[in-house]
Amino acid sequence: MENLPNEIFYEMFDFLDGYDIYQAFSNLNNRFENLINSSLLMTIQISSSTTLDSRYKHFLDSNKHRIISLRFSTEPIFDHFIKFYTIDSSFLRLQLLVFKPMSRCILITFLFNLKFLPQLFALTMYFIYCFDNLGDIYQMILHLPVLEYLKLKISEAEQLEINIPIAANNHFSSIKYLVIDHCCTINQLMNLL
């Protein structure tokens, strides 16, 4: 292992969660300590609220600027996370956010802060149930300055309203890839485009 080049480890790290890398290689030896504390960018999958213990919080505090991807598997986990952290410009390199079932009240407050992320290129959100009007949500998302990919999935939705004010319709979005996985009419789709 000592003779393997750093590039091999960086390639392997691409397949691992950032915190798993930290747990496995931190304090192993000087070489690995330098590797994980260098410019290594990390993806983070938060799948349990018990995961956010003091060690995990210390890891996140020390590495916010190196995280490129955050994934939350449930709404309670996300709720627990935002009690301690605001996803804002301190997550300097954050490019991808994935949220599994989420409610509207949390989402609106959260979406407001996303506009301060300078590299947020992709956003994926899943809802189990939905609300009457998606217009305000789409409006906030379409105004994210560098967002290129959006996937919005609603699994238990009938006909939804998507009312976007005319003034917001005149704004050009940076989105190149739009995945709408919920019911919408042709008129609603045209309103989004």
Least Cα distance to 80 among 46, 115, 43 occurs for 46
Give the integer Cα–Cα distance in Å for 27 and 178.
43
Token duo for residue 168: 């917001």
Task: State pTM to two decimals.
Answer: 0.80
Domain ranges of the chain: 1-39, 41-192
Is pLDDT at 74 greater than 60 in this prediction?
yes
The helix (H) or strand (E) run that includes residue 93 is none
Question: Tens of pLDDT along 151-173?
Answer: 988 776 566 666 665 545 556 77
Looking at residue 48, its pLDDT comes to 73
Question: Tens of pLDDT along 100-154?
Answer: 777 666 677 788 889 899 999 999 988 766 666 677 788 888 889 999 999 988 7
Is pLDDT at 66 greater than 90 in this prediction?
yes
Burial class (CB in 10 A: 0-12, 13-18, 19+), 147: buried
Looking at residue 87, its pLDDT comes to 87
